[in-house]
Each structure stands twice: as C-alpha cells, then as structure tokens.
Amino acid sequence: MGRVGVMMSANGYHIPVMASEVCSWLELIPEGIYVDATFGGGGYSEALLKTAPGCQVLAIDQDPDVLPLAQKLKEKYPDRFDFIQGNFSQLDTLIPYHQHGHIQGIVFDLGVSSHQVDHGSRGFSFQKEGPLDMRMSQQGQTVGDLIETASEGHIADILYHYGQEFRARKIARRIVENRNKSSITSTLELRRIIHSAVGKKVGKIDSATKSFQAFRIYVNDECFALKSALEQVLGLLAPKGRVVIVSFHSLEDGIVKTFFKESDSKKGQGFLEVLTKRVITPSEEEIQNNPRARSARLRAASRTLVPFSSVHKEGDQ
C-alpha cells in the first residue's frame, strides 16, 4: 500500500497526504459541515478545522486505537468536532439523519495507516514480528484464521483478485504445504513462506507486499466497504457538496474512478460532476518530505442539483 517507512507526525500517525490539495478541492466554507470518513491520526480533520474557522467536522474510524487522538481533538475543538467509532460502509447510520443531504464535503484516505503498520502487534507489517491479525476494527476473522482454514484455490483467488499477484497459485500452494506441517501464526513466518515460493524481491519491492495487501483487504472487506460508502455519499452531500478521495493503489483507485464515471452528470445517472478529469498526484517536494505520498492519487467530484430520491425513482420505473 506504499505506507511503510514514512514520515511521521508527532502523535505517531502518518502525515496526511496532499492535505492542502484536499482542503482546496473541498472548497471549504465557514459554517460548513464536513465528514472525515477515515480519521486515523486526525490529520485531515485538523486541517479542515484550521482552514475553515467555524466549520463542523464529524470524524469516523473503526480502529479503537484512534480514540485517544480523537479525544484530544475534541478537547481542542469542543464545539466543532465530533467522533464516531464505526466503519465508513455504514455512513448512512453513523451520520445523524438530520444532516443527510446537508454535508458540504466528505474526505476519504483509503488503506492502512502508518500507526497500524508500525505496531507489530497489529499484524499488518511483513517487516515486524507479530500475529497474523490485520483487522482494522480488531474484531472478526484474522488473517491467521483465514489461511488456516481456506482452501488452496480460495487463497489463490484472494491473492490474485485483491493483491493483483500473478504468482498467486505458487504462493497459495506453498502456504498450504507449510500449514499441513504446522500452523502459520506470525507475520515473519508468512513472509518467509512467500519468499520460499517466489523469491525475496520483485524489482525493488519485497515479494510479500502484494500478498499482505490482499489478505488485509479481504479480512477487512475493504472493497465492499468502499463501494457501499460511495453509494451512500450521494444521499449525504448537499447540492454542490464535494467528495475527495485519496487512494494508494490501483484496485481502490479503480473503484473510485468507475463510480465517478458511472455517476457523472454527463455520462451516467446525473448526481455527480467529476472535477478531476485526470488523477491528482503529490508534488515532488511533498514526496521528498513524505515518501508515503509517492503512490497517492486524489480524485474529487461535486454533487449536482439533481435530488437523489428522484434519480432512484426514475431508475425504478
């Protein structure tokens, strides 16, 4: 996901990528209501609060580890900031009903945070010893549970579809061979198994990168969550409200690009106007200061004046 070895903020979380561009594309207004759908370390939330004095920010994150940081921001902006723990796939439920259709902007920073990667106990990193966990919410099936019980074919499909790993069958076969001898329980053990199947490097990239990405996306159901959240954004944004999404690999960027294209007022159902005709990437200066930014892609769209309910009524006829 391109977030290892990154420049860190004082609170131990990654510095938000393209924060100034995010604020610019959102076209912040005083007194506006904004949603930070992926709070993480609070970088975007605080940037919104500082850039638009008087605005309200509602932040969402499923990871309980962020609660102390959210509390600090709440103490700093008691009347302008609120935090709700939950998965952004449930935006409709998490955001108060009276705000539906009145949100001026929503920002998503997709993927895994540096805090999650850098804490080996969370199991996200193949560079640190830890349990095979990778659950963002710290609930549900772990990666260890998955690879202990899934068939070889299912593991291969996960690696191929979610990690774009073209050597998926080799890796899946080696995983099953090893688990038949003893349970695979740690991140470094899984990395060693992947290396034994396909070698240690693909160019300059560790060969375990795509597999770890695939397992993480699968156990957290990230593709479903993103698609669900995007659908819900349409009913939450005010007319001319904006959604800005920062992604870090082609799988999630492809989902965003496809959704924007299908929802574009000129090409689809008519309730979004795509603002970024080409994907926005970080400046060379930002990449030098924050290597995590290298693979970032930003896309933005604006809500049209077409009522969301009327669009659905037309589609149901």
> Are residues 107 and 152 located together in one domain of the fold?
no
Helix, strand counts (H, E) of the chain: 14, 9
Does residue 282 lie in a domain region? yes
- Count the domains in the chain: 2
Residues 213 and 254 both lie in one domain = no
Q: Which of 196, 219, 242 is the last residue of a domain?
A: 219
CATH of the domain at 35: 3.40.50.150
Range of the domain at 156: 138-219
6 domain-assigned: no
Same domain for 184 and 35: no
Tell whether 176 and 108 lie within a shared domain: no
**Sign of the alpha-carbon dihedral angle for 112, 23, 249, 110:** positive
Tell me, yes or no, whether 7 lies in a domain.
Answer: no
Residue 249 domain-assigned (yes or no): yes
Is 192 domain-assigned?
Answer: yes
What residues in the chain have per-residue pLDDT under 50?
A: 1-12, 116, 120, 310-317
What pLDDT sits at residue 115?
A: 52
- Within a domain: residue 21? no
Same domain for 50 and 103, yes or no, is: yes
Q: Which two tokens stand for residue 200?
A: 């240690």
Last residue of a domain, one of 219, 234, 254: 219
Residue by residue, DSSP assigns 85-111 as ES-GGGHHHHS-GGGTT-EEEEEEE-S
User: Do 228 and 285 share a domain, yes or no?
Assistant: yes
Report if residue 120 sits inside a domain: no
Query: At residue 60, what is the residue type?
Result: I
Its pTM stands at 0.87
Q: Are residues 212 and 175 in the same domain?
A: yes
Same domain, 234 and 158: no
Which helix (H) or strand (E) segment holds residue 245: the answer is: strand 237-247
Whether 205 and 233 share a structural domain: no
pLDDT digits (tens, 9 = 90+) for 139-167: 889 999 999 999 999 999 999 999 999 99
Residue 133 maps to a domain: no
